[in-house]
Structure 1
C-alpha cells in the first residue's frame, strides 16, 4: 500500500449551480470501493470528460467529482485473482469518470471487471493515445470489416479530424481500404491525407445533398461519429449490402429516414456501444490495436498535456476545435 497520505486529482465542484475546477490534494481513504488500486500514468481527454467538467448532470449526477473516462497505469493492490501487483492495465468507459472518480488523478480504484491487461507491443502512452476513441474506432472497424472488404469499395468516415474519426481513417487505410473523410475543417486536408484518407468531402456539401429517401450509391460502408443529417446521408449513399456503424450524436441524436435503404439495398446499420462493450470483444480489439491495426501515424495524432492544462483543452473539445487525441500525463 502507498505510504503517501494524499494524491493529486483534477476536481470539479458545484457551488449554487456554478461549477468550478481545481487541482486538489486528495486523501486515499475516500477512493471508490473496488478490487484494484491503480497508479495512473496517463489519461486522455474525451467529449464526456468535458461535459462532466462543465456540470452536465446527464453524465455526472453528483459533485465534487474527478472526470476522466480513460486511464492506464500499474496495479498497486488487487483483491482479484485476475490481476496482481505491478501489472499494467487499461481502464476505459463503464462508469469510470462519470459517477466513479476517473483518470484525471494520480490514483483510481475500480472493479477488476473494468480492467484489461495492457497488450504487448503497446506502451502506456500509446494506449491512451488510443483510449476510448481508439477502442470505439476499433469496435467500428471490427463490425464493418466482418461484412465489407477492401475490394467492395470506398468507406466514408465522418468527424474525421476527431479522435474516433481520425483513428478510424488510419486503421482502415492500414487494412487496405480506400477512405473518404468528411470534415468541416478545410484547413485539415493535409492532415487527413497523411492519416490515410484518399479523398476529402466538405461537411457542408455532404449535408446539402438532396433530401430524398435514397441517393446515388457511392460507398461500400461508413463509420459515422456525429449522427444527424450526416448519418442519414451516409446511409442513403451506401451501396447494396453495405454496412454503416454509428457511435456518436454530437450533430444530432435524431434520424429522419425511410426504411428504403434497409429493405431496397440491404444496408446494415450497426450501433457501437463503447461504454458497456463485452469484455471478450474489448480484449480482441485491444490486441488488434497493439498489432496488425496499430496506426503507423499514432504518435502524430497526439498532443500531451498536464493536469494544469485540462481546462483550456476541454473548452476546445466542447467547441469542436480539438484535433486528434490529447493525452494527460500524470
Structure 2
C-alpha cells in the first residue's frame, strides 16, 4: 500500500469541515512503529476535534481518531515486529498527533499496546477508549474497596460509549447495576446490557438544603459530571467511590465536603489519556480475560461504519444521538 485514505478536518473558508483525503506513505507522521489500521472508534473527543471551539486541536488540517487497532508493518523499536497485532489509545493520538481515522499511521513505540491474547482488532475497538475508560473506572473503584454484594452501582450517561461499557462490564462481574439515562426509550437496551434497573437523571436529583442524603449507591461510574455529580456524591454509601471520567454535563460542579469527611467517599478522577503503560496493559488484560462480552452482546453495543460515514457520526455523537459505540472499518 503506497497510498492511503484518512478522514481530515480542515478549514473551508470560515467553516471547519471533515472530508476523506488521499495520502502517500511520505505523508506519515514521525514515530517508531508504522501500523496498518484495521479499526478505529468514534469518541466524543473526536467530535470536538471536528468543530470550531472544541479546544482539542490547535492546528488544522488534522486527522482525528483517539484510538486504533491494527497490524505493525514496520518498526524501528525492537519491542515490536512486522505482523504484530497492536492497539493505541490516548497519549497524543488524534490530538497533537494524527489519529486513527486513517488507513495507515506511524506512532511512538511508547504508545503501543500489544493486542491481548484472544482479542481481535475489531473487538479491541469495539471496546476502544470508551470501554477502556469504563474498565479503568471499575478497576480503580475496586482498588478502593468496591466489591459485589455491597449494593447497587450507579452508571450515569448509560447509553453513551463509556456508560454502555460500564453497565456491561459491571454486570458481567456480578454487580447490581442501576443505569441512568435521559433516553427513556432505551430501557430495553440497558436491560440487555445487564442493568437491573434504569432511571432518569431527574430521579437522581435530591432536595436542596441537605449536604447528605440517604445512602444509596455502593459506587458510581460517572462520565457526565456537571450539576448531577453533587447529587450522586450525597447519596453514596460509606466508603464508596465515584469514578468521574467526563464532562458532557458540564465542567463545573458545587458540592459540600461532607460526603468526603463524614462518609469517606472517594472521588476518583479517571484519566485514560496519560494512564501509565503498566496499568494500561493490566486493564486491557482484564478486559480481554474478564469483561469482553459474547459476540451478540458486542453487536448490541457496537455498530460498524465506513470512513465515508464519519462526518455524520461525529455530528451524532456531539448531539448525543449515538447509542453505544460506532467503530470505523478501515480495511
The bucket for the TM-score relative to the shorter chain is over 0.9
- Shift of the alpha carbon at 1:187? 0.1
- How far did 1:55 drift? 3.4
Q: Are 2:103 and 1:106 equivalent residues in the alignment?
A: yes
Please give the root-mean-square deviation of Cα atoms over the aligned residues, in Å.
1.2
Shift of 1:32: 1.2
Of 185, 197, 208, the residue aligned with 2:183 is 185
Q: Tell me which residue corresponds to 1:215.
A: 213
Asked if structure 2 preserves the Cα contact closer than 8 Å seen for 1:135 and 1:286, the reply is: yes
Cα separation, partners in 2 of 1:250 and 1:57, compared to 1, 3 Å: closer
Deviation at 1:57, TM superposition (A): 5.3
Give runs of aligned pairs for residues 284-299 of structure 1, distance below 5 A: 284-296=282-294, 297-299=297-299
- 1:235 corresponds in structure 2 to 233
Equivalent residue pairs, number = 327
Query: Residue by residue, what CA displacement relative to the aligned partner does 1:140-198 show, whole Å, maximum 9, x if unpaired?
Result: 01011221111111100100000111101111111111011110000000000110111
Are positions 1:131 and 2:128 aligned together? Answer: yes
> What secondary structure does 2:113 align onto?
strand
Cα distance, 1:314 vs. partner? Answer: 1.0
Q: Distance in 2 between matches of 1:226 and 1:139?
A: 16
CA shift at 1:204, angstroms? Answer: 2.2
What are the ranges of 5 or more consecutive residues in structure 1 without an aligned counterpart?
A: none
| Stretches of structure 2 lacking an aligned partner (at least 5 in a row) | none
Match of 1:223, SS state, is strand
Q: 1: distance between equivalents of 2:170 and 2:113?
A: 24
The answer to whether 1:275 aligns with 2:277 is no
Give the TM-score normalised by the residue count of structure 2.
0.96
Q: Which moved more, 1:300-309 or 1:21-30?
A: 21-30
Is 1:257 the counterpart of 2:255 in the alignment?
A: yes
* 1:41, distance to aligned residue in structure 2 (A): 0.4
Instruction: Indicate the residue corresponding to 1:40 in structure 2.
Output: 37
Give 1:91's aligned residue: 88
- TM-aligned CA deviation for residue 123 of structure 1: 0.9
1:308 aligns with 2:308: yes
CA distance in 2, matches of 1:210, 1:319: 30
Distance in 2 (alpha carbons) for counterparts of 1:258 and 1:28:
55
Structure 1 length as normaliser, TM-score? 0.96
What is residue 193 of structure 2 aligned with on the other side?
Answer: 195
Larger deviation: 309-318 or 20-29? Answer: 20-29
Cα contact 2:211–2:258 (8 A) shared by 1: yes
Alignment-derived partner of residue 318 in structure 1: 318
Q: Distance in 2 between matches of 1:227 and 1:70?
A: 23
For residues 212-231 of structure 1, what are the alpha-carbon distances to aligned partners after superposition, in whole Å with 9 as ceiling and x for unaligned? 31111101111101001221
Q: Which runs of 4+ in 1 moved over 3 A?
A: 207-211
